[in-house]
Amino acid sequence: MADTKQNLFEYTEESIKSLDWKEHIRLRPGMYIGKLGDGSSADDGIYVLLKEVIDNCIDEYTMGYGKQIDITIQGKTVSVRDYGRGIPLGKVVDAVSKINTGAKYDSSAFQKSVGLNGVGTKAVNALSGSFKVSSFREGKEKTAEFTKGVLVKEFKESKTGESNGTLVTFIPDESVFKNFHFINEYLDNQFWNYCYLNAGLVINFNGKKYISKNGLLDLLQRRTNEDELCYPIIHLKGDDIEVAIAHNNDYGEEIFSFVNGQFTTQGGTHQQAFREAFVKVIRDFYKKDYDAADIRQSIVAAVSVRVIEPVFESQTKTKLGSQYVAEGGATMKNFVNDFLAKELDNFLHKNPTTAEALKKRIEQSEKERKELAGIKKLANERAKKANLHNRKLRDCRYHYNDEAAGKEKEMILEKQKESTIFITEGDSASGSITKVRNVETQAVFSLRGKPLNCFGLTKKVVYENEEFNLLQHALNVEDSIEGLRYNNIVIATDADVDGMHIRLLLMTFFLQFFPDLVKNGHVFILETPLFRVRNKQETIYCYDEMEKKAAMKKLGGKPEVTRFKGLGEISPDEFSRFIGNDMRLQPVMIMPDTHIQNLLEYYMGKNTPQRQDFIIGNLRLEIDLAENEVA
């Protein structure tokens, strides 16, 4: 027996494999683009592919070449055209198909570039079913076509009347990105961020024009409602640094951070330096040792820095690891602190009305925190007594904000991004999900009945209400969302009236008390099939009436049709299909110009004439559609 086991794990020369660049990228895509996904999350791989191509265009722009980028997305085909210098014609194929090949190793050419390791467009190439690159340079054109990273056609150089620049057209590989689709709202945010960070840049996307004149000031104006702000936005600019700061009356802390034009969704050294420096400057200015949490409560801010050869914690560049702004230069902490200590302090001295409003907001947060202190202590004790992990939560192995180190760091980070918690109601639904979930990355939290409608209530209710208290402890967001344990929070309720009501109540909870979770793309709705259509040969699961009709037509005859009303009606074996690779998630999204309190008032406040008119009008529409269908 021992000999057999030894043979199974024999370690010989044949055990050592050598993969070429495209095989390695396709085998371990998470190392290069993070999680795959179907496009329902802003950090899914298809958006990273687009970002990698646009980043090269942005680098050209920052070097002073080309003020416009044209982007089109038709179905699943993406085209990106810049008007920079164009790839040197003799290196077009190498630039997109040879790893560690590129101009960005020459710091004199790309002093403050985002991409420095020559991987970006190679990853796009390897993970695309079709990839075409054309370079236009000084009246000549060079084009090459690839399939899954393999060169299939290289055209000879030819004359062209095109302006200098590069055109990349690709279709993400559907065998890698299952059932993917682009969501316009995510693309919209992505393009606006590029423009905010590169004032004067023009992005044309499917006929829509994006341009910003005032940088981060425009960003905050778009992301906030002016009527909700406690004071006008503070906008400060310096050499290689720009910040915009405001406070509103929402709960939480929302800071957008960028480095060299890259949106660092997970922050990093520059964001932490800003958080610490802001607290220090405020304490020094008011000469009072305010609690850091009170100073940053309800802050909405953006910080952008430019550094030489930035170091990121992963290829997807979502978290900055650089400790210094340049080799031999200042530390990131000192660089940001020195800037704020001078510019923010000067601004507050020159604008006493703003300074007074800021002080008032901090002291309001201080008062609320002290009022909650005693309640929080009792709530924590209740959560311990409730034995959360046995009674309400079936946990998973990997969590979103756990430390990752060692040779398996990239794999662990990929698992952490996949970490998901399903919030369900009832024993049957939670039981079905628990039996078939992936125990490494999927957790289940079981509600008991309908949660409270918390619209208009203060955060005090989160600690006093047992369900809400246990839920915030499960998510680890009672103090801030920085400790969030799961990247994806999925509301999984029945497809009936009660299930829809529970869904609304949960969304109200998140929007009222933890809006940052929604704004940062962490909250989703699980879509499960409404119908099962089958005959003896085939079973088709359908998510709406149109899919049901198509399935019935395909199967012919009189197939058996089952209408699922509750998650508990779906057997565990069937459920495994719907929370696995083919899981459909609908993101809960709040557009930047949405007034959250007005939205909640409309849907969750007392019955208003407007809401009654909306319900009656849509009810009549449904009746008319049904009658026409019968006719």
140-151 pLDDT per residue, tens: 999 999 999 999
Question: By C-alpha distance, which of 412, 601, 604, 401 is closest to 520?
Answer: 401
Instruction: Give the pLDDT score at 629.
Output: 46
> Does 108 lie in the same domain as 40?
yes
Instruction: Give the pLDDT score at 607.
Output: 64
Quote the domain boundaries for residue 300: 216-368
Of 188, 210, 232, which residue is a domain's last?
210
Long-range pairs for 44-49: beta carbons < 8 A, 24 or more residues apart: 44/177, 44/180, 45/127, 45/172, 45/176, 45/177, 46/172, 46/177, 46/180, 46/182, 47/182, 47/186, 47/187, 47/190, 48/316, 49/78, 49/123, 49/124, 49/127, 49/128, 49/170, 49/172
Instruction: Give the pLDDT score at 10.
Output: 62
> Does 414 lie in the same domain as 309?
no
Of 210, 236, 271, which residue is a domain's last?
210
> Does 285 lie in the same domain as 312?
yes
Of 152, 175, 210, which residue is a domain's last?
210
> Does 581 lie in the same domain as 436?
yes
* 607, part of any domain: no
* 309, part of any domain: yes
Instruction: Give the pLDDT score at 626.
Output: 45
Q: What is the CATH number of the domain that holds 227?
A: 3.30.230.10
- Strand pairing partners for 72? 79
* 489, part of any domain: yes
pLDDT tens for each residue of 159-185: 999 999 999 999 999 988 888 999 998
Instruction: Give the pLDDT score at 375.
Output: 83
> Does 107 lie in the same domain as 48?
yes
> Does 239 lie in the same domain as 187?
no
Spatial separation of the C-alpha atoms in residues 152 and 303, rounded to whole Å = 44
Q: CA neighbours within 13 Å on the CB side: how many for 246?
A: 25
At 137, give phi and psi (nearest 5°).
-150, 115
> Does 264 lie in the same domain as 119?
no
* 9, part of any domain: no
> Does 200 lie in the same domain as 150?
yes
Q: Ramachandran region of residue 508, left (φ > 0), alpha (ψ -120 to 50) or beta?
A: alpha
Q: What is the CATH number of the domain that holds 99?
A: 3.30.565.10
> Does 170 lie in the same domain as 104?
yes
The identity of residue 160, as a single letter, is: T
Domain count, the chain: 3
* 57, part of any domain: yes
pLDDT, averaged in runs of 10, over the chain (631 residues): 50 58 76 81 88 90 90 95 93 83 47 54 91 94 93 93 95 90 91 91 95 93 85 93 92 86 82 93 95 92 87 70 75 91 95 96 92 80 66 88 76 86 83 88 89 86 88 87 90 84 91 87 89 91 89 90 81 82 84 72 72 66 47 44
Instruction: Give the pLDDT score at 605.
Output: 75
* 200, part of any domain: yes
Instruction: Give the pLDDT score at 24.
Output: 77
Instruction: Give the pLDDT score at 148.
Output: 92
> Does 204 lie in the same domain as 281?
no
> Does 197 lie in the same domain as 140?
yes
Instruction: Give the pLDDT score at 618.
Output: 65
Instruction: Give the pLDDT score at 592.
Output: 67
Q: Are 324 and 330 a contacting pair, CB within 8 Å? A: yes
The identity of residue 377, as a single letter, is: K
Instruction: Give the pLDDT score at 630.
Output: 42
Q: What is the CATH number of the domain that holds 509?
A: 3.40.50.670
